[in-house]
Structures are given as structure tokens and as C-alpha cells.
Structure 1
Amino acid sequence: MATIGYARVSTTDQDPQLQLDALSEAGAVRVFTDHGASGSKADRPQLMACLDHLREGDVLTVWKLDRLGRDTRHVLDVISELTERKINFTSITEGLHTDGPMGRAMLTIMAAFAQLERDTMIERTRAGLAAAAQNGRRGGRPRKVDDALALRARELKSKGISAQEIAMMLGCSLATAYRHLSTPT
């Protein structure tokens, strides 16, 4: 019987160290870590490797339930598979475990709340983007060269100034200067 840990961070620039420390403290003898893997995706290389590695009597431990997955169906499918294989599951933060019927029931409820939280966040984000669009704002990176500067760039080009010099005058990259020089007036 071994405690095996699974950690996940959604983006490659996030640091899983908090999870790794908690899993180590919980007695994990091996930890599988996915970097840049969304919890909404079932196909995560390290999760698949972790599930393949687990043996009867082992305990799969995660720092928080949403590290295993954000989709209730997926989380419950994984837990069901583990139960069939006689592998226990523990979530450190929520104190959830599959040692008995109450633990499994609480796990089902917490998985549903994790999905509700994710769905609500997506809904709020979409509503915010729609409201911003109605107010004339759009997302994305701010433009380096506005319409007035683009017009100025075309005027400078018509006077024989090179694209490289125009880019330096506008404080933008050569590619940006070319993009605005090729845009019709």
C-alpha cells in the first residue's frame, strides 16, 4: 500500500510547489504532475500515467479536488474506477476520502460544487465580455499604433522614409510598421 500523489497546474508558468509540499507532507512516495493542463480535459498525460501506476490498496492523494478535474462526470468516473480497482482516494484540502459511504457521498457533492464553480466563472466571464463589447471595448492586447499614427506612418512613407526609420519614430516593431503601411487609407 502506497500513497501516490497527483498535482496539476493550469498554465506552464504556474508553480505546483504548494501542492507538492502538501502531498509530501501527506506521505506521498511518488507524485505525478501535469503542467499546463486544464482540469476540464480528461486526457492529461501525467494523470493517465498516475492512474496506470496505481495498484490495489494504494491511495491516490490530491491537494484539492479540482486538481483531479473540474467536470463532475469525469471526477466521479475516476473515483468509480479507483473504487472498482480497490484503490482509495483522498483530497487533502477538503478532507475527503473514499474510506466509507459518507466519504463517497461527500466526494460526489464536492465534485458537483467544483463544476458549478467553474461553470459560474465561465458564465460571468462571457457576460462581462459581452457587456464590454456593448460599451465599445474589446479585449486583447492594446494597439501599439492607433489610427492617427498609422496615417502618419503612411505620410512618412510617401515622403520616402524607410519602414525601419518609421518603426523607430513610432516606437513599434518593424513588423507593426509594415502592417500599418500596407493598410489602405
Structure 2
Amino acid sequence: MRQLGKAILDINQTDFVVAGVSALACLGTLAGMPVWALFIGWAWYLAIGANKTAIREGSVTCVAAAVLALTAVVLTDAFAVFMPGMQASMLAVFLMIMALMVALKLPCIKHSLVGFNSFSCIFAGYYLGAFPAQSDYILNLVVAFVYITGANILGLFVGWASQQLAGFSFRRRDQQGDLEIS
């Protein structure tokens, strides 16, 4: 209980900024954005470096994995023509996760956390209908990609923006590379 009291007394500017930006992010639901995907992207930003490089690297990995996940959706539908749905899905996921594992060995696709989360966001988000559904199959895939992957990537930027708004930065204090938080 004492630790909780201390934690409450230690609330600072960063805490308020993160809570405020999180609340504002909920407005994305008005545009049909899967806000949960934004929060996942924000977590990636923090987990993979909390810097501009994290945005670039996270975005590249996110897009690559999302394309593989949509390919798994298409393959599932194609395989379901000649095999039961569960087996079709399992085969499609197996093939595309193998492709993701190979992609993660490329220098431009670095973050397995982002890759697997992005794949999962698209795969689950597509089947849960976490985007404005379209009557055309291809358009439906494109809209799912734009909404879900777009929200993931927006989350990377929101992580950066909240960090900037909080005035949180790392600066080198001296030549030896010690970091100071200001």
C-alpha cells in the first residue's frame, strides 16, 4: 500500500501527457479507426527504441508483416475451396509465418515483436471486421490494410509525439556518453 501511495505522489508531467494523448487517441473511433491498433503501435515505439529510428524501422516491419497477413487471408480463402476452413487457415498461416521468419532475417525488417504483432493485428482485425467493410473483396483487403496498419503506424508517431509533448529527451552530458533525462 505504501508503494502505491508513493507511486501516486510521483505522478509527473509525462504521466499527464501520456494519459491525455491516450484519451485523445480514442477520438479515432469516430473515423472507424481501430484505436487498439494505435496503442499497439505506440507500445512498439517504446519497446524498439523510442526514437525516430524506431518509427522508420517499425513502419517497414509493420507493412511487410501486414502484407504477409493479408496474403494469408487470401490464401485461406483460396485453400478453403478444396479443404476444410481450419486446415486452409492453418496452411496459409504456416506459409506466411515461414515467409515472415525469412523476412525477419533481412536487414530492413528487424523487429520480431512488430512483425508478429502486425501480422496478428491484420489477421485478427480482418476477421473481426475492425475496419469499414466493403462489398468488393479486393477493396475490403485494401481498406483493412489501410485502417489497421495505418493505426499501427500512427501509434509509432503518437509515441514520439507524446514523448516530445512531455519534454522528455535524452541528451549527452559529456564525451563519455552518460545520458541525462531533461
TM-score (normalised: structure 2): 0.28
Which structure's CA Rg is the greater one?
1
Instruction: Give the helix-richer structure, 1 or 2.
Output: 2
Higher relative contact order (CA 8 A, sep 6+): 2
Structure with the larger strand share: 1
TM-score, L = length of structure 1:
0.28
